């Protein structure tokens, strides 16, 4: 484990590149960060997470929010949390006494790992943090997950999916040892089964599923079902928040509306924000709500379910 000093240089959100090799980015000097915490080894790969400790201790045991990065399930790392639209949520939560984490997972990039493995890694990261709760001053009964794009999908499955359905490696916590209370997802895919939700996107091509599922979705219906969080909503489950842009060409905002409507049918109130004019990542001119407004709503959601 490497603790980063608070006197690091000023915030730089882009990676440092030298001779074409991407290095770890400099980290925000205003946050209390512990990086390079290995929570699991799988497929010959060490999987690390970074912790953002509260700026001021407000709880004997702090609530925890775990961020899961995007990148089409095949790219990205824990440093994606440094995107301005994400790290500002972390900042506000830290100010309120909430611990945050950003995790890595095996990428479905054409190798042996598939999205099922990605889910297992995300679940194992939460298990690891719950098992080491005393070490980090965390309350394992007050956990939320948060993700964007592919990470938005993974955060939903991590929070809503039954652990027994995924190839997790770390021990299953006792029923009273860990509780995920809520989940927030930015511009996610909510179903690997409903082809209507993939229309107009790169994921509309059936072959796009091969590196993700290990075959075509139509040939792996049970697997597709286990990766479709829209089917996992239940009245006694975690609270759900979703935000999407109506100009998103990567993953349609119909995903967010479908999740909201599915929640209504089973008695789960899904908080849903659709930002007018926003594309994937909430880019765009004069979007409404704005990124700061979406961030504020996200923080309020976590406060409601983890803090109050």
The string of pLDDT tens digits covering residues 6-15 is 333 333 343 4
Tell me, yes or no, whether 19 lies in a domain.
no
Residue 23 confidence class, pLDDT cut points 50, 70, 90: low
Residue 12 in domain: no
Are 139 and 63 in contact by the 8 Å Cβ rule? The answer is: yes
Contact 41, 49 (CB under 8 A): no
The average pLDDT across 79-86 equals 95
**Is residue 9 domain-resident?**
no
User: pLDDT for 158-167, tens place per residue?
Assistant: 999 999 999 9
What confidence score (pLDDT) does residue 9 get?
Answer: 33
C-alpha to C-alpha distances, 296 to 148, 299, 302, nearest whole angstrom: 16, 5, 10
For residue 143, give its domain range.
Answer: 29-307
Domain for residue 23, yes or no? Answer: no
Per-residue pLDDT, 50: 98
Residue 14, pLDDT score:
38
Q: Rounded mean pLDDT of 219-241?
A: 96
Is residue 170, in this structure, part of any structural domain at all? yes
Calpha distance 129→275 (Å, rounded) = 33
CATH number at residue 283: 3.40.50.1820
Assess if residue 22 is contained within a domain.
no
Structurally, the chain folds into a number of domains equal to 1
Residue 14 lies inside a defined structural domain of this protein: no
pLDDT at 5: 38
- DSSP secondary structure letters along 133-149: HHHHTEEEEEEEEEEET
For residue 16, name the pLDDT band (cuts at 50, 70, 90).
very low
What pLDDT, in 10s, does the model give residues 140-157?
999 999 999 999 999 999
233-238: average pLDDT? 95
Distances (CA, A) of 120 to 58, 60, 80, 100, 139: 32, 30, 20, 20, 22
Q: What is the percent of the chain with per-residue pLDDT over 70, rounded to a whole number?
A: 92
Instruction: Decide if 39 is inside a domain.
Output: yes
pLDDT band at 200 (very low <50, low <70, confident <90, very high): confident
pLDDT digit string, tens, across residues 34-55: 999 999 999 899 999 999 999 9
Residue 232 has pLDDT above 80, yes or no: yes
């Amino acid at each position: 484990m490497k603790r980063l000093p608070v006197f690091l240089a000023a915030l730089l959100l882009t990676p440092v590149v030298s001779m074409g090799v991407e290095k770890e980015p400099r980290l925000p000097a205003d946050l209390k960060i512990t990086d390079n915490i290995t929570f699991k080894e799988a497929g010959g790969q060490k999987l690390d997470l970074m912790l953002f400790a509260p700026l001021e201790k407000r709880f004997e045991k702090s609530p925890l929010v775990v961020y899961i990065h995007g990148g089409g399930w095949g790219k990205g790392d824990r440093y994606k949390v440094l995107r301005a639209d994400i790290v500002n949520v972390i900042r506000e939560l830290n100010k309120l006494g909430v611990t945050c984490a950003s995790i890595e997972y095996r990428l479905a990039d054409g190798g042996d790992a598939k999205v099922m493995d990605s889910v297992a890694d995300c679940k194992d990261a939460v298990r690891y943090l719950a098992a080491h709760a005393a070490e980090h001053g965390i309350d394992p009964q007050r956990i939320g997950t948060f993700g964007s794009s592919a990470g938005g999908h993974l955060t939903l499955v991590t929070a809503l999916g039954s652990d027994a359905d995924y190839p997790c490696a770390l021990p299953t916590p006792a029923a009273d040892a860990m509780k995920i209370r809520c989940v927030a997802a930015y511009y996610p895919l909510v179903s690997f089964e409903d082809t209507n939700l993939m229309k107009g996107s790169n994921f509309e091509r059936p072959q796009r599923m091969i590196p993700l599922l290990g075959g075509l979705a139509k040939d792996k219906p049970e697997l597709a079902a286990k990766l479709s969080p829209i089917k996992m909503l239940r009245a006694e489950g975690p609270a759900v928040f979703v935000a999407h842009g109506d100009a998103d060409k990567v993953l349609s905002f119909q995903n967010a509306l479908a999740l909201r409507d599915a929640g209504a049918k089973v008695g789960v109130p899904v908080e849903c924000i659709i930002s007018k004019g926003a594309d994937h990542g909430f880019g765009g001119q004069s979007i409404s709500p704005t990124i700061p407004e979406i961030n504020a709503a996200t923080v309020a959601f976590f406060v409601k379910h983890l803090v109050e």
